[in-house]
Amino acid sequence: MTLTTRPYQCPLTLFVFLTIFTTCIISSPTIHHDYCVIGAGPSGLQLGYYLQQKNRDYVIFERSNVSGSFYLKYPRHRKLISINKRNTGKTNKEFNMRHDWNSLLSHDDSLLMRHYSKELFPHADVLVKYLNDYKEKLGIKVQYNTEIRNIERKENQFTMDDGNGQKYTCSKLVVATGIATPNVPQNVDGMEHVIGYEDVSINPEDFEGQSVLILGRGNAAFETADAIYGNTNVVHMVGRSRVRLSWSTHYVGDLRAVNNGLLDTYQLKSLDGVLEAGLEEVKIVKQNGKLHLQFKEDEEDPVFSLDNFALRDPYDKVIRCLGFTFDKSIFNNKTVITPGRGRAKKYPKINYNYESVDNPGMFFAGTATHSLDFRKSAGGFIHGFRYTARALHNLLEWRYHQVPWPFITAPVTQMESTILKRLNEASGTYQMFGILGDVIILKDNGVEFVYLEDYPINLIDELPQRSGHNATRVIAIVMEYGKDFSGPGNDVFRINRATGEPAEAHHSNFLHPVLYYYDKLPTEQDMKNKSIKDLLPHPRLLHHIVEDFLTSWDGWTSHLLPLRRFLEEVLDQDLRSYFAETCMKLALTHTNVPLSCQMDFMEGQGLVPAYSLAQLAKDSKLLI
């Protein structure tokens, strides 16, 4: 951090003293940091952890006096929807993060949600406690009570102030302010009669014997319905499109089972109900203290004047649960922030490296980056963006400090065991399926490979520029659901939903690993040209590993053998392990011996000997 004096030097002459006095007090010196992060929510803290680890010059500005202040208020009924699964039957820390949706990443094992709550869906206050402990224990630099405004990009840096006359400049800016401004539709008449989710009473007694209409269909809407449907006459819910159940879409932001009690009372005809209507067609009218939902234009239309219109009874309360949008008011009016496209319009538009499309050097972290995987993966939630915040950090390290993406190098005889270890424990690629993947770079010498974890696969065409690793031949490993399996209304319980047959691996529906081999890096054009259903451009070779009920890809014939065959084809090598005696015999009768024999021979020359699968099983504790 450096202090630069403002252009005015306070003059000592008494004559001008009085006139300049105020200016000197108000404009205290501008404070400069290399990195400024705005917002100490879970994503700001996660990024802060990595900046702290690398000793970068950074600060996190937070307008509240605590970290994670979003969770002081939300979710309103205080039950988190992120899973705190404390038991998996395994001791592997990395594996267990697949089922811990609340903790942030760190080296400190005491900073895990399992030590804070026994509830599968903990109380939101517990998360606030956790996040503040995380900040304290890890020494993350948060400047509280600092509300940043007037952000502008000027001469390759960012300027901003805190509303108390303090100005800041930053070389790089990371906006981690969340998506926390309630979405209030402007074009619906009568919204003034409606209570917002942000203000709604959380005391069910306040709804005793009332008829309630909820606008919206998401988790907040159903969470609210769940809290009151034991007290009300009826709860009706309207939304534009059909209910999207999380278990049928495999998207954690869709309606979660923990909130969906009202679906029962609807389908069992217990007076509650759910129906579809676009809000732009309706208005809310107050008559005799009751609220009526009416159609705007088409009152003449016979459909709407039918005397059995579903919402013809008046309501005592109408509640708006229509989601949240990104708050652009923190920027001044010279700063352009283009909204995301289509359904992602509530998010700022960013590139796959989390950088603003409008402002170079301005990055986003956390739920504000969810335009990249909206309704697909977990990037809008703690268990997803903890990994994308780390990926952002890795990208920044290479771009600004010439530190390449973290990697290991190993002989190709260890490729299969390295992959298997990751398939069976990696949490980042598991949570951020379809978005983050592992990348194997085959070295020109033919005997070694470089392994990168949790890389944003949409940047694979720019791998050298983004990661600092030159690459031509690569294998990308991504977790995927079956292409036409997930979707609102799809029958995900159908009898033939899963396969156990390795030959049918490409028809796997549940989350399973897929390997894409490219003999040359895909180009920007290849990325643009790929079909919307494909994660990556057509590879040279493609390998699906058959889905597994236990998510343990450790079957000798179902998983290991087909994987080895695939790698042998990619590498054009025999990857089997041989006893020394066999190697000796082969050496006497063949011009070329298999790689594992060569590797053993090279052991003395600094290369590590081939790693056996039995060794793998022992090391990775998975099979204990």
Ligand X SMILES: *[C@@H]1O[C@H](CO)[C@@H](O)[C@H](O)[C@H]1NC(C)=O
Ligand Y SMILES: Cc1cc2nc3c(=O)[nH]c(=O)nc-3n(C[C@H](O)[C@H](O)[C@H](O)COP(=O)(O)OP(=O)(O)OC[C@H]3O[C@@H](n4cnc5c(N)ncnc54)[C@H](O)[C@@H]3O)c2cc1C
Summarize as ranges the residues that interact with ligand Y (CB under 6 A): 38-44, 61-64, 69-70, 74-75, 80-82, 146-148, 176-180, 220, 324, 330, 366-368, 380-382
Question: Which of ligand X, ligand Y, none interacts with 445 (beta carbon under 5 to 8 A by kind)?
Answer: none
Nearest to 113 by CA among 94, 85, 91, 93: 85
* Least distance CB 159 / ligand Y (angstroms): 14
Q: Cβ closer to ligand X: 78 or 585?
A: 78
Measured in whole angstroms, the distance separating CA 140 from the mean position of its chain's CA atoms is: 21
CB atoms within 10 A of CB 37: 31
Q: Cβ closer to ligand X: 95 or 158?
A: 158
- The answer to whether 218 touches 72, Cβ cutoff 8 Å, is no
* Least distance CB 470 / ligand X (angstroms): 4
Instruction: Give the list of residues 6+ apart from residue 90 with CB closer than 8 angstroms, or none.
Output: 96, 621, 622
* Least distance CB 492 / ligand Y (angstroms): 23
* Least distance CB 232 / ligand Y (angstroms): 21
* Least distance CB 574 / ligand Y (angstroms): 46
Q: Cβ closer to ligand Y: 222 or 352?
A: 222
* Least distance CB 324 / ligand X (angstroms): 22
- The answer to whether 435 touches 377, Cβ cutoff 8 Å, is yes
Q: Cβ closer to ligand X: 33 or 466?
A: 466
d(CA 241, CA 147): 37
Q: Cβ closer to ligand Y: 136 or 619?
A: 136
Q: Cβ closer to ligand Y: 70 or 130?
A: 70
The residues facing 3 across adjacent strands are 31
- The answer to whether 582 touches 385, Cβ cutoff 8 Å, is no
Residue among 525, 542, 565, 608 that touches ligand X (CB under 6 A): 525
Q: Cβ closer to ligand X: 211 or 458?
A: 458
CA torsion angle 84 85 90 96 (round to 10): -40
* Least distance CB 47 / ligand X (angstroms): 22
CB atoms within 10 A of CB 156: 8
- The answer to whether 201 touches 297, Cβ cutoff 8 Å, is no
* Least distance CB 115 / ligand X (angstroms): 21
DSSP code string of 46-96: HHHHHHHHTT--EEEE-SSSSTTTHHHH-STT-B--S-B----S---HHHH
What does the DSSP 8-state code read for residue 355? B
Nearest to 325 by CA among 179, 123, 474: 179
d(CA 481, CA 370): 19
Question: Which of ligand Y, ligand X, none interacts with 216 (beta carbon under 5 to 8 A by kind)?
Answer: none
Question: Which of ligand X, ligand Y, none interacts with 525 (beta carbon under 5 to 8 A by kind)?
Answer: ligand X
Q: Cβ closer to ligand Y: 386 or 543?
A: 386
Residues 320-339 contacting ligand X, CB under 6 A: 333
* Least distance CB 243 / ligand Y (angstroms): 17
Long-range interactions of 44-47: CB distance < 8 A, separation 24+: 44/142, 44/174, 44/176, 44/365, 44/366, 45/104, 45/131, 45/134, 45/135, 45/140, 45/142, 46/104, 46/105, 46/365, 46/385, 46/386, 46/389, 46/390, 47/174, 47/176, 47/365, 47/389, 47/392, 47/393
Question: Which of ligand X, ligand Y, none interacts with 470 (beta carbon under 5 to 8 A by kind)?
Answer: ligand X
- The answer to whether 78 touches 123, Cβ cutoff 8 Å, is yes
Question: Which of ligand Y, ligand X, none interacts with 80 (beta carbon under 5 to 8 A by kind)?
Answer: ligand Y
Q: Is 65 in the site for ligand X (CB under 6 A)?
A: yes
Q: Is 145 in the site for ligand X (CB under 6 A)?
A: no
As a residue count, the chain comes to 624
SS3 212: strand
Question: Which of ligand X, ligand Y, none interacts with 52 (beta carbon under 5 to 8 A by kind)?
Answer: none
Question: Which of ligand X, ligand Y, none interacts with 70 (beta carbon under 5 to 8 A by kind)?
Answer: ligand Y
* Least distance CB 349 / ligand Y (angstroms): 17
* Least distance CB 445 / ligand X (angstroms): 12
Question: Which of ligand X, ligand Y, none interacts with 65 (beta carbon under 5 to 8 A by kind)?
Answer: ligand X
Biggest alpha carbon–alpha carbon distance for the chain? 101
Q: Is 529 in the site for ligand X (CB under 6 A)?
A: yes
Residues 452-481 contacting ligand X, CB under 6 A: 470
Question: Which of ligand X, ligand Y, none interacts with 145 (beta carbon under 5 to 8 A by kind)?
Answer: none
The conformational region for residue 139 under phi > 0 = left, psi -120 to 50 = alpha, else beta, is left
* Least distance CB 202 / ligand Y (angstroms): 12
CA torsion angle 270 275 280 284 (round to 10): -10
Per the listing, tokens 């979003």 go with 70
d(CA 182, CA 196): 8
Q: Cβ closer to ligand Y: 64 or 353?
A: 64
Q: Is 88 in the site for ligand X (CB under 6 A)?
A: no
Question: Which of ligand X, ligand Y, none interacts with 537 (beta carbon under 5 to 8 A by kind)?
Answer: none
Question: Which of ligand Y, ligand X, none interacts with 151 (beta carbon under 5 to 8 A by kind)?
Answer: none
Q: Is 66 in the site for ligand X (CB under 6 A)?
A: yes
Q: Cβ closer to ligand X: 525 or 592?
A: 525
Question: Which of ligand Y, ligand X, none interacts with 38 (beta carbon under 5 to 8 A by kind)?
Answer: ligand Y
CB atoms within 10 A of CB 457: 24
Q: Cβ closer to ligand Y: 202 or 408?
A: 202
Q: Is 308 in the site for ligand X (CB under 6 A)?
A: no
- The answer to whether 457 touches 372, Cβ cutoff 8 Å, is no
Q: Cβ closer to ligand Y: 256 or 422?
A: 256
Q: Cβ closer to ligand X: 85 or 443?
A: 443
* Least distance CB 136 / ligand X (angstroms): 11
The continuous run of DSSP H or E covering 461 comes out as: none
Question: Which of ligand X, ligand Y, none interacts with 369 (beta carbon under 5 to 8 A by kind)?
Answer: none
Interface positions with ligand X (CB under 6 A): 65-66, 333, 470, 525, 529
